[in-house]
Every structure is written in C-alpha cells, then in structure tokens.
Chains A and B, each alone.
Chain A
C-alpha cells in the first residue's frame, strides 16, 4: 500500500519535471559577460536575430571566466567573451571552434573626481597603476576571473607588482556595476570597461580619469561556438548562425548604432568599418 503510494508520487514527480527537458532545436544558449548584457546591447540586438531566424537565444550573463567554463562543460552552445589570453587557451584545449572577433572598446581607469593619486597625468596605464600603489589609494578589484579582472592583473604584472593582500587593495568578487558602486562609496579607483562605466556613470560620482587607446587597455570581444565533436548535443547550427549574424554587415551596423542615453557608442564593431561621419 505505502509502496504503491510512493511509486505514484515518484511518477508524479517526474511528470512535473520532464516537460522542462523537451529541448527544442530552435533554442540557443549563449553565455556572455555582464558588460554585454547589463549595458543592454544583447537585449537590443538579439530580438532582431530571433525574428530573422526563429531561434530563441537564452542569455546567461556571468563573468568571462564562468562563461568559458559553462562552454567548456557543454552547458551552453555559444559564448561571447572578452579575455583574449583565456580565449586562446580555451581554443587550444579544443573546447571551442570558429572564434571570431566581434567588437571592442577600451578599458578605462576610473576614480574619485579629485584624483588623490594624480593618475590623470600618467603617461600610460602601467604608470597610473603604479601611482595608485604609491599613494596606497583604495583600489577595487573584481577578483572574479572576469575579463576585466584578467586585464587588471595583466596591468599589475606589467607594473611589476602583486597587490593581493594589501590593505588598500579590495577584491570584491562582484560584477562591474557593484564594483563601481563600491569604488564610489570607498572613494577608490577601479578598472572598468567603457560600456559598463558609461551606462553606470549617472549613478556614481566617479570620473574616467585615465583613458587611452593603448594596447594594454584594448578590450576586444570574441564569439566562440562550443566544439560539437566534444559535446554532440550542442546546437552547433544555431551557434554558427549567431556568429554569422554578429559578424555580418547588419549585425555589425547594429553594434555600431547602439549607444547609451547620451549618444556615446559603447562597442565599436570590429569586422566592418563603419565611417563615423556616414550620413
């Protein structure tokens, strides 16, 4: 009697769960970074792709480190990330195929308007980081293996220093928005991608203190399909369609047209040059 009841319950349990497992081929899972999602770029572009192809894109927005991990485990079909060094080892290990550059912007160093470390006068990003270290001014680090964190560590390395553990160096383990808010509260400095800062700048009193189009601050985004020979279940056809769209003249123009409220371009398309004075 009791056994029968339990058996019925078990069947009921799976009856509830199974509908969710019907995986339609016209769904595509994209792991991406908070910088592309929180700025609204994906919400602006993807509906157009969905309308054109009938493929519904599910965005999972995390840091680049986790976005690549999800792709490595085959939990998503395609990934859009911004950490070239990590992407290269990802490709080298055979986890991804068809890596294509999509767009880029620049990292900027932001901090309190009065700039206690005086980095506004720095010659380059490495010098600016050294000045922050000299001044022992609070520095907010993402500390989360994201693309921005990876780049921040690369700049510290170029500055020949390892600030981990220092009192003025605060690792938040949080997203860009929260880290900017924390820098604002602590009157500290942080490295941010341009897009996130522009989107967030009306909420904080931070200023973009050091900007420059140098190689060390260059922030390119790539799209990578998960290797279908490693994960046969992935929606590879859908992934290729999305890669094609993002790198097509249409997709590239959409990226170039995407601005924040005050008309600033957040991401520059990389594949197709769009003249800035185009009428």
Chain B
C-alpha cells in the first residue's frame, strides 16, 4: 500500500519534471508498439478478410492455428526471435538483435495472430446482406471489401486496440530481443522490470502508471476515430 502512495507521488514527479530519460523510454515504447501494430494490421486485416469471406479447404485449421497463436507466451517469442536473430542464427547477418527493430519483430509476431483472429470474427459477424447489397449496386471488389470493413469498424478497431495493448504491455520478448539497453532499447516494460529487480518498487509502479496513462490516451484517440467514422 505504501508503495502505491509512493508510486503516485513518484509518477506525478516524473510527469511534472518531464524527465528526459523517461520521455525517451515512453517514446520508444510507443514507436515500437505502434509500428508493430500498424504492420500487423496492414498485413493481418487483408489476410483475415480473405479467410473470413472465402471458403477453402483447411479454413477451420487456419482459424484454429491463429486462435492458438493468440496464446503465444512472450518469452517463447523472445527465445524464437533470439534463435533467428542471433549471430549464430540464420538472420544474424541482418544485425537486428538488441535493436528497436528486433523488438518490433517480436511484437509483430505477437500482435499478428491476435489481429487476424479478431478481424476474422469481426468480418464474419457482418450481416451477409451488406455484401450482397453492395454487389447488387454494382460495387467493385475493392468497394465491396471496404463496405464490409466499414460495417465491421467497431470490432475492427477493437482488434487493433487489442493488438496494441498486447505489445505495449509485453516484457518477455522486448527483454530478450531488445536487451534493455539504456537510451537505446529500454522500453516502459523492461524499465519496470529493471526497477523492480533493483527494489525501486515505487519508481517501477510509477512507470507502470505512466504506461497505463499512455494506453488511455491512445484508446481515447481510437474512440475519437470510431466516432468520426460514424458521421
């Protein structure tokens, strides 16, 4: 309990003083999680749309595959990423281990299945008539797709927010692939883990509160987006 009170004052101090190290850590977290979510959405939504609207052999298996991957443990992703990105691994020559790009790759692997699975669900729940109507009105394939995605925008936004939430909160993969390097790959979550291991519980919790505040502002932005698109 005393930690929580300490954390609140500490968090306020961090925000008021605009501590440059904390700011750059927060910025890196946003950049990394944002890039990973964006890439996962760009690749995931078209794929999910295809899965949701086409019938093909093994469709059930593909869905089960993505649903299972939603449960990927972050440490396992870190370990897999390490085995590929290490100098001993097949992609070692790219020199991505212990860089922000390394963290993005791990986050992408975490966010992708989540966004795909949730988008499939979102698109599937759109009333079939929306698609048929659009087609009867002579819409092109792209227009039909956009109509359906527009119908599903609430659930679609939720899918993207979920993906973002998963990667901004994860620590296992960021720790292994980023290495928690001060001023370079230290994210909010690896900083929290570090301060916890140093016994600086109040500071760790303060960083946690800041992370939540960041997530809140991102969510408010998305809310705005949802509202605007209904008008």
Interface residues of A (CB under 8 A from B): 2, 5, 9, 12-13, 16-21, 23, 29, 34, 38, 43, 58-61, 73-75, 174-175, 177-178, 180-181, 199-200, 203-204, 231, 233
Distance (whole angstroms) from the CB of B48 to the closest CB of chain A? 14
| Contact across chains for A21 and B179 when beta carbons are under 8 A apart | no
Distance (whole angstroms) from the CB of A112 to the closest CB of chain B? 17
| Contact across chains for A174 and B197 when beta carbons are under 8 A apart | yes
| Contact across chains for A73 and B101 when beta carbons are under 8 A apart | no
Residues of B within 8 A of A177 (CB): 196-199
Instruction: Kindly state the separation between the CA atoms of A17 and B52 in the bound complex, as whole angstroms.
Output: 29
Instruction: Kindly state the separation between the CA atoms of A75 and B199 in the bound complex, as whole angstroms.
Output: 29
| Contact across chains for A16 and B104 when beta carbons are under 8 A apart | yes
A17-B101, A59-B181 known; A74+B96 contact, CB < 8 A = no
Binds A, one of B6-14, B86-94, B120-128: B86-94
Top 10 nearest A-B pairs by Cβ distance? A20-B101, A74-B87, A60-B179, A20-B99, A203-B199, A58-B181, A175-B197, A177-B197, A73-B88, A23-B95
| Contact across chains for B199 and A58 when beta carbons are under 8 A apart | no
Within 8 A of A (CB), among B93-117: 94-102, 104-105
Known: A20-B96, A178-B197, A180-B199. 9 other contacts (CB 8 A): A16-B101, A17-B94, A18-B101, A20-B102, A21-B94, A60-B181, A175-B197, A200-B198, A231-B87
Residues of B within 8 A of A43 (CB): 182
Instruction: Kindly state the separation between the CA atoms of A73 and B87 in the bound complex, as whole angstroms.
Output: 6
| Contact across chains for B196 and A58 when beta carbons are under 8 A apart | no
| Contact across chains for A60 and B98 when beta carbons are under 8 A apart | yes
A21-B94, A58-B181, A60-B179 known; A73+B35 contact, CB < 8 A = no
Instruction: Kindly state the separation between the CA atoms of A231 and B96 in the bound complex, as whole angstroms.
Output: 16
Please report the total number of B residues contacting A with Cβ < 8 Å.
31
| Contact across chains for B87 and A17 when beta carbons are under 8 A apart | no
* CB pairs A–B below 8 angstroms (28 shown): A2-B46, A9-B42, A16-B35, A16-B104, A17-B96, A17-B101, A17-B105, A20-B99, A20-B100, A20-B101, A20-B104, A21-B99, A23-B95, A29-B98, A34-B197, A38-B197, A58-B181, A60-B180, A60-B181, A73-B87, A74-B86, A74-B92, A175-B197, A177-B196, A177-B197, A199-B198, A200-B198, A203-B199
Instruction: Kindly state the separation between the CA atoms of A98 and B231 in the bound complex, as whole angstroms.
Output: 68
Residues of B within 8 A of A16 (CB): 35, 39, 101, 104
Instruction: Kindly state the separation between the CA atoms of A19 and B31 in the bound complex, as whole angstroms.
Output: 14
Pick the contact of B199 from A2, A12, A181 — CB < 8 Å?
A181
Q: For residue B199, which residue of chain A has the nearest CB? A: A203
Distance (whole angstroms) from the CB of B171 to the closest CB of chain A? 14
Instruction: Kindly state the separation between the CA atoms of A196 and B42 in the bound complex, as whole angstroms.
Output: 46
| Contact across chains for B43 and A9 when beta carbons are under 8 A apart | yes
Distance (whole angstroms) from the CB of A244 to the closest CB of chain B? 22
Instruction: Kindly state the separation between the CA atoms of A75 and B88 in the bound complex, as whole angstroms.
Output: 8
Q: For residue A30, which residue of chain B has the nearest CB? A: B181
Distance (whole angstroms) from the CB of B40 to the closest CB of chain A? 11
Q: For residue B141, which residue of chain A has the nearest CB? A: A1
Distance (whole angstroms) from the CB of B51 to the closest CB of chain A? 14
Q: B65 at the A/B interface (Cβ < 8 Å)?
A: no
Q: For residue A12, which residue of chain B has the nearest CB? A: B42
Instruction: Kindly state the separation between the CA atoms of A233 and B185 in the bound complex, as whole angstroms.
Output: 21
**Which has the most chain B C-beta neighbours within 10 Å: A23, A75, A203?**
A75
Residues of A within 8 A of B43 (CB): 9, 13
Distance (whole angstroms) from the CB of B55 to the closest CB of chain A? 18
**Which has the most chain B C-beta neighbours within 10 Å: A20, A73, A203, A231?**
A20
Instruction: Kindly state the separation between the CA atoms of A199 and B197 in the bound complex, as whole angstroms.
Output: 12
Residues of A within 8 A of B97 (CB): 75
> B21-36 vs A: 1/0 string, CB under 8 Å?
0000000000000010
Residues of A within 8 A of B92 (CB): 74
Instruction: Kindly state the separation between the CA atoms of A183 and B49 in the bound complex, as whole angstroms.
Output: 53
